[in-house]
Amino acid sequence: MNPKKRSKTAEIVAVSRARHLLRYSSPHIFNDPYAINLVGSKWRFILKNNVLDKFISNKLSHFFPIMMQHVIRARYVEDELEKMQKENKEIQYVLLGAGYDSFAYRNKNKNIKIFELDLAGSIKSKQEKIKKIGVETPKNLKVIPFNFEMGNLQNTIEKNGFDRNKLTMFNWMGVSYYLSTPAIIKTLNEIGKFVIEGSQIIFDFTIPKTLLTIKEKEVFTKMLDWVEKRGEPMISHFDPKKIEEKLNTNSIWKKTKNVSPSELMKKYIGKRNDLPKLTPLLWIALWEK
Ligand SMILES: C[S@@+](CC[C@H](N)C(=O)[O-])C[C@H]1O[C@@H](n2cnc3c(N)ncnc32)[C@H](O)[C@@H]1O
């Protein structure tokens, strides 16, 4: 995508989080009160009109059927972060391709250092929204422009106060499929080399069409066309059985776990039938050094 432009898919992710609170009943899977103010004014208008939003989200679900995934993956990563915070006094949390994630503004733990990395255009758009909401940038947050397709991640975050001796959680949700496979390999290898043992990276990935049924393939093709038209083509996809072989080339990430959509549904949706089901397209990887 164009680094100077704001990410439209990041906005849709915030729409999903806002809609989850506005449209669905409690208990909510994920509670992000900032999301409604981080989306643009057009989306805010739609979301606040229940009938209009139902109509639009129904249409959108044919082109971008992963909106429930946005909610569940946000919960998943923060559940894992919570575990790490409980077991360790001081940790670091790095959001790679942070988009409109609002953790830094919801967080109450002063012993966590937060780094948000993203393309300059997306950072600018989020900062404008945050300014409008009128909240201060937390002292423990560092916002850093970075492009995964170029540049040195370690130098960039160390210059901004990252401590390589501290346990760290990396949140790379919603990004891998927009990157070239060499950029994903480079990023995973680089991070794996400079973080201390026990540090984790969590990212989601799309599976290749060859693993899908004819009907699922059609849905996926529509989604690929839709995002491409918006300037954010999804270009990297991985077979969950072969992802380590392809990406964890130096076996730096020692404990790897790949979580399927059905496992996520079982864990977070269970018997609830008021929530949309997950599509089989997106898996979550939790890798630990
Ligand atoms: C779909 S959004 C996900 C945002 C956030 N992680 C979330 O789950 O809410 C993808 C994010 O990746 C960022 N991104 C895409 N390509 C990138 C690149 N080459 N380098 C850095 N960030 C990138 C976009 O700017 C956008 O914020």
CATH label of the domain that carries residue 30: 3.40.50.150
Domain membership flag for residue 256:
yes
Domain membership flag for residue 159:
yes
Domain membership flag for residue 2:
no
Domain membership flag for residue 1:
no
- SS3 (DSSP) at 222: helix
Domain membership flag for residue 212:
yes
State how many domains the chain has.
1
Which domain does 140 fall in, by range? 8-288
Q: What is the pLDDT of residues 265-282, one digit of tens each?
A: 999 999 999 999 999 999
1 lines ligand 1 (CB under 6 A): yes
What's the mean pLDDT in 91-111? 96
99 Cα nearest atom in ligand 1: 27
- SS3 (DSSP) at 84: helix
Q: How far is the CA of 96 from the centre of ligand 1 (A)?
A: 7
153 lines ligand 1 (CB under 6 A): no
| Cα angle value 275/68/4 (rounded, 5°) | 155
| Residue among 242, 227, 225, 247 nearest 172 (CA) | 247
120 lines ligand 1 (CB under 6 A): no
Say yes or no to pLDDT of 1 above 90.
no
118 lines ligand 1 (CB under 6 A): yes
Confidence of residue 6 (pLDDT cuts 50, 70, 90): confident
The fraction of the chain above a pLDDT of 90, given in percent, is 93
Domain membership flag for residue 150:
yes
Confidence of residue 216 (pLDDT cuts 50, 70, 90): very high
Q: How many other C-beta atoms can be found within 10 angstroms of the C-beta atom of residue 105? A: 18
- Residue 7 pLDDT: 82
Domain membership flag for residue 171:
yes
Q: How far is the CA of 284 from the centre of ligand 1 (A)?
A: 16
What's the mean pLDDT in 167-182? 97
- Residue 249 pLDDT: 85
Torsion, Cα 158 163 164 167, to 10 degrees, reads -140
- Residue 151 pLDDT: 86
Q: How far is the CA of 150 from the centre of ligand 1 (A)?
A: 14
Q: What is the pTM of this model?
A: 0.96
7 lines ligand 1 (CB under 6 A): yes
Cβ atoms 263, 56 nearer than 8 A: no
Domain membership flag for residue 124:
yes
Mean pLDDT of the chain: 95
Classify residue 80 by burial, with Cβ atoms within 10 Å: 0-12, 13-18, 19+.
Answer: middle
Confidence of residue 5 (pLDDT cuts 50, 70, 90): confident
Going from the C-alpha of 100 to that of each of 18, 50, 158, 249, the distances in angstroms are 11, 23, 23, 31
